[in-house]
Amino acid sequence: MRRQPGDASQMKENHAELDRDHLLQRIAATTTGGRGRRLYSRELRESVVAYARERLMNGGRQRGVARELGIDECTLSWWLRKKSKQTMKPVVIVEKEPGGAEVTMVLPNGIRIENLQLVEVMTLVRALG
């Protein structure tokens, strides 16, 4: 069977639809608490957040994703903003030139610190740790 151009994107769309359909089934199966609020499991919240982030990276809007899944937009917004429990994140130290004394440090939040001596990097890592 010969593939046509666009087959990969079509397969990706079909996979996204399956993910969405599966999420919709899981959301519909949630129970409600005493005040009529849905009780979402942590696993379901994590799946919804992963799906929403993928949709947002591909040009979707938060309001549209929330409507698509039948979740209140404020709830989805809250889930997307929650920080990871992990406070320390790995730091990668990259040398500017092989054998060079200056390095560039990029923190997980995107802050870039350039032209540091190795001793300065070690001091900074200790201070952040």
Q: Are residues 12 and 42 in the same domain?
A: yes
53-66 b/e with 16+ CB inside 10 Å = b? eebeeeeeeeeebb
> What would the mean pLDDT of 4-31 be, rounded to a whole number?
70
| C-alpha dist (Å) from residue 105 to 45, 86, 102, 127 | 33, 20, 10, 14
- Written as six digits, the tokens of 50 are 């992963």
Q: What is the pLDDT of residues 33-48, one digit of tens each?
A: 777 788 888 899 989 9
Within this chain, do residues 68 and 99 fall inside the same structural domain, yes or no? no
Residue 2 lies in a domain: no
Domain coverage including residue 104: 92-128
One domain for residues 77 and 97: no
pLDDT tens digits along 51-90: 999 889 888 999 999 999 999 999 999 999 876 565 667 7
Kindly report the pTM of this predicted structure: 0.53
Residue type, 82: K
Model pLDDT, residue 68: 92
Based on the structure, what is the number of domains in the chain? Answer: 2
**Average confidence score pLDDT of the chain:** 78
Residues 46 and 12 in one domain: yes
- Beta strands 38-39 and 31-32, pairing class: antiparallel
